[in-house]
Structure 1
């Protein structure tokens, strides 16, 4: 994993989708290489960071997880503010979570930056025998909507790294072409007292 000590850009990425699709475990797998088998719904916003090297640049990803708020429709525009990337996650074994993708997409576009990079993520490929959402169906939907697409397994660590790094690389590509605000500038709007406190509680993620 990359060092969190120095970076050229800060990109905020949000995780959205129905409760129980595995967003929190995608976050912990990418930032800490951990998986919690007894993951419980928490109320609030989980926040973690990881710095990666892409194209000779150090990019610090600030990743925000709804952490149960989606159950109560309590997600506000503040959650999306400043986000340059989003992973829209569904569970490949639960078609209802896939059916809600369009609603989540609508909400995202109502609140987020017009040039936000969005990846549709079908999680839990380790449960292939229980699949209810065909890969091609989701892939076709993503193509029609102009979204990136990958299927992942947070449990088996399949494509998790690729999902996040592909989104970060696309954000950087847009930032380089002046389509979005350069990371460190937009980071000012991302830093709230709550976010700072969260980082203080996680020494591994502290910005030195």
Structure 2
């Protein structure tokens, strides 16, 4: 089984931790403590007829903690850039977060733009059209979600995983070389056994008389 490291980034209070909790635990907390440093969750999903384990890191949005999270960009093979549809400031902050990902993450990272808190439609400051235009500018997929109701939350992670897996299957990403993709213990053992079998077969061929 493949393990993908996914990071969730965005300004504070856009709902990053709530998205993570909704995806991993299928629940929502009305009162949620601000993430200090790094939050973590994991969940196994099935995409393209393959089981994938997602290791998801929720990076703190506060400026004072951004320097502490730089090392966590490294090794991420998937990223979710989140803004709050009721906050234009968080939408404008996406550019800065994208620049940080470019600086610290690997070149192969797949990204998705997410406009969260659609359950607060009456307070919306950023239209769906604006979000889609921004995503299109960078050639990213765009989703609008509600961590409260669960709207499109699974779809975000499934779509991102599918894009990464497509690259793995096409050979664009080598899971054995890329730091952001790890093999499970079972898969590692199977790979080691395969190498041993191949080595034995090679020796047998070399010892065979012509």
TM range (shorter): 0.7 to 0.9
How many residue pairs get aligned? The number is 183
Structure 1 position 173, deviation (Å):
0.6
- Paired with 1:186 and 1:142, the residues of 2 have a C-alpha distance of 26
For residue 153 of structure 1, report the CA deviation from its aligned partner. Answer: 0.1
In the alignment, which residue of structure 2 is the partner of 1:84? 77
Q: Tell me, which stretches of 5 or more residues in structure 1 are unaligned?
A: 1-7, 191-208
Which residue of the partner structure matches residue 200 of structure 2? none
Q: CA RMSD in A?
A: 2.0
- 2 CA distance for matches of 1:182 and 1:136? 36
Q: Deviations over 1:57-84 (max 9, x none)?
A: 1100000001455553324431111111
Residues in 2 aligned to 1:91 and 1:188: alpha-carbon distance in whole angstroms: 29
| Cross-structure match for 1:114 | 107
The residue aligned with 2:155 is: 162
8 Å CA contact 2:35, 2:59 repeated in 1: no
Partner residue of 2:27? 34
Matches within 5 A, 1:115-154: 115-154=108-147
Distance 2:178 2:150 in 1: 32
The answer for unaligned runs of 5 or more in structure 2 is 184-210
TM-score when normalising by structure 2: 0.81
Deviation at residue 22 of structure 1 after TM alignment: 0.1
TM-superposition CA deviations, 1:67-113 (whole Å, max 9, x none): 45555332443111111100000000000000010110011011111
Moved over 4 A (4+): 68-71, 187-190
Cα distance change, pair 138–184 in 1 and its aligned pair in 2 (3 A): same
Question: 2:167 aligns to what?
Answer: 174
Displacement of 1:175 = 1.3
In the alignment, is the contact (CA less than 8 A) between 2:175 and 2:181 conserved in 1?
no
- The Cα of 1:115 is off from its aligned counterpart by 1.8
